Amino acid sequence: MAGKTLRQMLDAGQFIVAPGVFEMFSAKIAQRLGFEALYMTGYGISVSYLGQPDAGLATYTDMVGRARTIVEGTSAPLIADADTGYGGLLNVRHTVRGYEAAGVQAIQIEDQEIPKKCGHTPNRRVIALQDMVRKIEVAVEARRSDDTLIVARTDARAELGLEEAIRRAKAYRKAGADMIFVEAPESEDEFARVGQEIDAPLLANMVPTGRSPMLSAERLRQLRFRIAIYPAAGMAAACAAMDRAYRYLRDHGSLIGATHETYSMQQLHELSGFPEVWEFERQHAQP
Look at residue 165 and give its three-state secondary structure.
helix
Strands (E), 125-272: 149-154, 179-182, 202-205, 225-230
With 0-12 / 13-18 / 19 or more C-beta atoms within 10 angstroms meaning exposed / middle / buried, residue 240 is exposed
Each domain of the chain, given as residue ranges in start order, spans 6-234, 239-283
Q: Is the pTM of this model over 0.85?
A: yes
Helix (H) or strand (E) holding 107: strand 106-110
Contact (CB, 8 A) for 163 and 182 = no
Please name the fold of domain 6-234: TIM Barrel (3.20.20)
The string of pLDDT tens digits covering residues 41-70 is 999 999 999 999 988 899 999 999 999 999
CA distances to 36, 48, 106, 121, 160 from 199, rounded to whole Å, are 24, 36, 19, 28, 21
φ/ψ of residue 134, rounded to 5: -65, -35
Going residue by residue through the chain (287 aa), what tens digit of pLDDT does each one get?
A: 458 999 999 999 999 999 999 999 999 999 999 999 999 999 999 999 999 998 889 999 999 999 999 999 999 999 999 999 999 999 999 999 999 999 999 999 999 988 787 756 677 899 999 999 999 999 999 999 999 999 999 999 999 999 999 999 999 999 999 999 999 999 999 999 999 999 999 999 999 988 999 999 999 999 999 999 999 999 999 999 999 999 999 999 999 999 999 999 999 999 999 999 999 999 998 76
